[in-house]
Amino acid sequence: MVVFSLVLSISLSLIAQEQKIDSSKYLPLVTFTAEQDHENMNQQLGIKVCVLALSGNESAPNAANYNESLANPCPQLPEILTTKNGKKVTTPEMWWNVRRPEIIEEMEREVYGRLPENIPAVKWEVEITDYEYVGWTPVVAKKLVGRVDNSKYPLINVEIDMMLVVPRNVKGPVPVLMMFGRPSFPAPAQPSEEDMKLINKTFKKALINEDPQLKEIFEKYPAYDPLKWENPFAAMMQRRGQEPSSTEQLLAAGWGYVTIDPNSIQADNGAGITRGIIGLVNQGQPRKPDDWGALRAWAWGAARGLDYLETDTLVDAKKVGIEGVSRYGKAALVALAFEQRFAVGLIGSSGKGGATLHRRVFGEAVESLTGGEYYWMAGNYIKYGAEESTFGRKTGCDLPVDSHQLIALCAPRLTFVSYGIPEKGDAKWLDQKGSFMATVAAGSAFKLLGAKDLGVSNDYLSEEMPPVLSGLLDGELAWRQHDGGHTDAPNFEFFIPWASKFLKYEKVPARR
């Protein structure tokens, strides 16, 4: 009854808050389906017909191209170290002051969208602090919420969901890897056996007060406890011999980790583009062609998470990394490229829109992103999948920038590009070779800035991908293809020592 009353009270309070908002004072929320939103952008751009996306099924009538001889219709990539007026970039100063801003301008305008000037502030709150075990490592876990100021448009509410987990058996502050995913406590925290006895004693009294007949039953079975204590090490013993998870490996190496929910920042669909942080800034209205898409919004949210980490004394904010797989691998690369405070990135199976070259026609193509996943990108990106329009026909070959330049924006910081193999589920659709070509080409920027690249030439057309399980891990730019599927988990055992070495981090046990 108490629980019901509390829930009812909270519900009535929320209703009262909603009733205080006079919606007539604000622009009405636009509610589109994804198809309607896509068509709205097409109309803004003057697009009449878009190229139809091809199927990843090789036996389908509209199968994507998997013929390597047809994969490079425009093999010449946009220059990394040549300015728009044709000058060679020969010094780090020219890179930082001239060429890098040029690349960012075109990346923002044509591919990922611009960050608005009026993004509201985020206020972080630690909702729960818990002490638990992950594997054999004692940790402190903090459930965090980042509330975005919506005072200018209260019809949309954005709260960023994040979890920080840090080991307690090492001397801090520690490096932390931020990962896109659904936050959850690493394990339900268990009271000690003594605490559980007290809980059971109190619980029995409460039950007897509720129903006096239970007193006779408890007296009949005096050793019975309604609530059972579970040994926290029992589950660990059962898992002996199994491969440790990625998070267990991080903690064992003295790292912490963060999980941040991208969907709490921006929905992963076109219908949600007038909601989330993009909708809040646009006051519930559709995007303009150079407005940011979901990838840039997720990257922005990760940067706001980093804002919090800079205030937490358990975290070494100069050694925070960003990680993601698939669409979140794309977002992780975008975050690393545009937010220079991230020290390291693990970019897993990111495909088109991530590390794979846009102008490559192999598996996933530009029209795949300009169609169903258009909302990941800036509206302007749809132009490069236009069949008929007021400006004619465009393809990926017309893009003024490409993914090798996105990787170059990460230089000289640590950048680890990870893929699996098609046989295990990391589909050919992702074009592993196209990502390797981009990583090879990006190396020139790393070398200019005094960092080491893959250790091969920067001739992306002639360099061959190394064999599976033969990583190129000697420099700040790294590549490794594991023999697993659509995940980066098998590369963690290589990523962690690689990153620790370059970050000059060594685990130091905490004093007891």
How large is the average pLDDT for residues 219-223?
A: 80
In this prediction the pTM is 0.90
Element (H, E) at 340: none
Query: What is the C-alpha to C-alpha distance for residues 63 and 35, in angstroms, rounded to an integer?
Result: 23
Output the DSSP codes for 403-452: HHHHHHTTTTSEEEEEE--GGGT--GGG-HHHHHHHHHHHHHHHHHTT--
Query: What is the C-alpha to C-alpha distance for residues 398 and 74, in angstroms, rounded to an integer?
Result: 9
Q: Is the pLDDT of residue 17 over 60?
A: no
Give the pLDDT confidence of 403-427 residue by residue, as tens digits. 999 999 999 999 999 999 999 999 9
Q: Is 43 left (phi over 0), alpha (psi -120 to 50) or beta?
A: alpha
- Choose the CATH number for 68-187+250-503 among 3.30.450.20, 3.80.30.20, 3.40.50.1820, 3.10.20.30: 3.40.50.1820
Which residues pair with residue 325 across a beta bridge? 348
Q: Is the pLDDT of residue 5 over 80?
A: no
32: which 2 tokens? 């589109």
What pLDDT score does 241 carry? 60
Give how far the C-alpha of residue 433 lies from the chain's centroid of Cα atoms, to the nearest Å.
Answer: 22
157: which 2 tokens? 């509410």
Query: What is the C-alpha to C-alpha distance for residues 415 and 412, in angstroms, rounded to an integer?
Result: 8
Query: What is the C-alpha to C-alpha distance for residues 254 and 56, in angstroms, rounded to an integer?
Result: 41
Q: What angle do CA 92, 332, 104 make, to 5 degrees?
A: 40
Domains in the chain: boundaries: 68-187+250-503, 195-229
Higher pLDDT pick, 149 / 225: 149
Lowest mean pLDDT among 168-182, 186-200, 381-395, 403-417: 186-200
Q: What does the chain come to in residues?
A: 512
Evaluate the CA torsion angle 113, 115, 116, 122 in order and state its sign.
positive
**Residue 371, class by beta-carbon neighbours within 10 Å (0-12 exposed, 13-18 middle, 19+ buried)?**
middle
Residue pair 349/327 in contact (Cβ under 8 Å)? The answer is: no
What pLDDT score does 196 carry? 77
How large is the average pLDDT for residues 54-71?
A: 90
Lowest mean pLDDT among 5-19, 93-107, 161-175: 5-19
The three-class DSSP label of residue 167 is: strand
Q: Is the pLDDT of residue 47 over 70?
A: yes
Give the pLDDT confidence of 285-331 residue by residue, as tens digits. 999 999 999 999 999 999 999 999 999 999 999 999 999 999 999 99
Residue pair 111/134 in contact (Cβ under 8 Å)? The answer is: no
Give the pLDDT confidence of 430-455 residue by residue, as tens digits. 999 999 999 999 999 999 999 999 99
Residue 74 — pLDDT band, cuts 50, 70, 90? very high
Q: How many helices (H) and strands (E) does the chain have?
A: 15, 11
b (16+ CB within 10 A) / e for 18-32? eeeeeeeeeeeebeb
Of residues 109, 141, 114, the one with CA closest to residue 127? 141
% the chain with pLDDT above 90: 80
Give how far the C-alpha of residue 170 lies from the chain's centroid of Cα atoms, to the nearest Å.
Answer: 27
What pLDDT score does 219 carry? 81
Output the DSSP codes for 24-47: GGSPPPP---HHHHHHHHHHHHTE
What pLDDT score does 4 carry? 39
The three-class DSSP label of residue 52 is: coil
The three-class DSSP label of residue 50 is: strand
What pLDDT score does 190 carry? 66
